[in-house]
Amino acid sequence: MERTSDYEQLLFLYKAEGKGFSLEQYCINNEINYRTFDRWYRNQHERVRAVQVSK
């Protein structure tokens, strides 16, 4: 089972060196289950909300 830190590292590496690959192909090449990664990614980004800050 992958941990959050594993997924964070995978995402960082993909952004740094994944040019020319789809994220799905990058996961396959690194032996990571794409569906599990995608579920983690969506859950992480559901928690992020834009807020307006007044001065």
Contact 32, 2 (CB under 8 A): yes
pTM of the model: 0.67
Token couple for 37: 């990664």
Contact 34, 10 (CB under 8 A): no
Residues in the chain: 55
For 1-55, how does the pLDDT look when each residue is reduced to its tens digit (9 = 90+)? 578 888 889 889 888 987 888 989 998 988 889 999 999 888 887 665 667 888 7
Predicted local confidence at residue 43, as pLDDT: 87
Predicted local confidence at residue 47, as pLDDT: 65
Please state the domain extents for the chain.
4-46
